[in-house]
Amino acid sequence: MSAADDGANRSLGQLVAQATTELSALVHDEIALAKAELRQDARRLGIGGGAIAAAGVLALFSLPVLSFAAAYGIHNLGLGLAWSFLITGGAYLLLAAVLGLLAVAKFKKIKKPEKSIASAKETAAVLGTVKPHPRPVADMSQADASVTRSTV
């Protein structure tokens, strides 16, 4: 039995059920593809976010204690106390800038899910060309008789 014979022997309900099942499977497959693509980008987003969080925590909690220790350490080498504090502050700003640049580099590698978008556009194009099966025109007098209208 050929595929054309199989389609000719099935009822309209069976054909609609098969089309619904296939469309549902297509949508599920596209969702799975989008999840797979986004999972890769989520890992990059996590690394970039972790770098920003690490930079913030480093600057917030350790900066005062380490700044005093470093400044007094430099001061013991013979520099003035003000210069010692400036050198220490500049070193922490440099470290924060390096971590910020690392985060920006990770964020730039995040891409949109191109395969999912292309697949969805292709599906929309195919579904846009599908024409509905023509229905026979019913007698309007019978249709009007069966419809009750509200007076409100």
pLDDT digits (tens, 9 = 90+) for 85-94: 899 889 889 9
- Count of CA atoms in the C-beta half-sphere (13 A) of 122: 9
Alpha-carbon gap, residue 54 to 49, rounded angstroms: 9
Model-level pTM? Answer: 0.40
pLDDT digits (tens, 9 = 90+) for 13-37: 888 888 888 888 888 888 888 888 8
Structure token digits, residue 25: 């499977």
pLDDT digits (tens, 9 = 90+) for 70-121: 899 999 999 899 999 899 889 889 999 999 999 999 988 888 888 888 888 8
Contact indicator for 72, 51 with CB cutoff of 8 Å: no
